[in-house]
Amino acid sequence: MEDRALPAAGFLYWVGASTVAYLALRASYSLFRAFQVWCVGNEAWVGPRRGEWAEEKFKVETRTIAVDFSLDDIYDKIKTGLSGLEIGVLVNNVGMSYEYPEYFLEVPDLDNTIKKLININILSVCKVTHLVLPGMVERSKGVILNISSASGMLPVPLLTVYSATKAFVDFFSQCLHEEYKSKGIFVQSVLPFFVATKMSKIRKPTLDKPSAETFVKSAFKTVGLESRTNGYLIHSLMGSIHASLPRWIYFKIVIGLNKSLRNRYLKKTKKN
């Protein structure tokens, strides 16, 4: 019996040792990647070597094309305005959310809200990318940064249509990156949590709700390194925590939070 047990014990020893080594290697790689992304960064990817033009980029020539992205007949105007420009970096950053968290059927002016959310959050990303991507492919270089949202990582009830549109942006970006990375195009899906902006109605930045300037500086470090990113170290940790929660716990937390925000808004506006 002892002779038979020895080979089995040896086998289990090597299985255990291999598992520990694998986990150690994974942990080491994760730490290395975290250091590379959040400490070293890769800001040169969005520098002048990508081209002379961007939509909005500090210290480069800028042209403004005024359009209302809630409409769907604006893209000929944008195409004309972009004619002759060599665009190296495209930032699809237009976005619209709910006025406040609300149940789908109770969203004010629901038909119009649905149309605006789809036009602004989905159609704009597809159409503007369609206008700019051919030139990037022709030059075999380019960066496209699509601003999704942490609301697109997991479903967010009471922000249902917004969450779904941002999930589209995330999937669209991931697919586009895989299609065109061999042609020198880097497409990134950016999935931030709350940032202190007018849309979020957060005025004072905090550690977990950074200013737009702080977030952008952090997010630029990830370009060329991560095709899908939360863009900010604290947001990345928050994303990992959310993804690891059992789904029923996640939904309980999110619905509870959004119900609280809904009730506060309705009480403030005397609608309930």
pTM: 0.80
CA angle 47, 48, 49 (to 5 degrees): 95
Average pLDDT for 53-79 = 80
Average pLDDT for 41-64 = 60
Q: Single out the catalytic residue among 13, 162, 232, 265.
A: 162
What was the pLDDT predicted at 270? 79
Q: Smallest Cα–Cα separation from 180: which of 147, 204, 144?
A: 144
For residue range 68-113, what is the model confidence (pLDDT) as tens digits? 999 989 999 999 999 988 999 999 999 999 999 999 999 999 999 9
Q: Considering only 150-164, 196-210, 215-229, 256-270, which range has the smallest mean pLDDT?
A: 196-210
Higher-scoring residue by pLDDT: 187, 24: 187
Helices and strands counted in the chain (H then E): 8, 5
Q: Considering only 126-130, 157-161, 200-204, 266-270, which range has the smallest mean pLDDT?
A: 200-204
Exposed/middle/buried for 198, CB within 10 Å: 0-12, 13-18, 19+?
exposed
What was the pLDDT predicted at 172? 98
What was the pLDDT predicted at 141? 94
Q: Provide the pLDDT confidence category of residue 42 given band limits of 50, 70 and 90.
A: low
98 in active site: no
Answer yes or no: is pLDDT of 13 > 70.
Answer: no
For residue range 102-142, what is the model confidence (pLDDT) as tens digits? 999 999 999 999 999 999 999 999 999 999 999 999 999 99
Cβ distance 151 to 197 under 8 Å? no
Name 22's Cβ contacts closer than 8 Å, sequence gap at least 6.
none
Q: Smallest Cα–Cα separation from 72: which of 116, 134, 129, 113?
A: 116
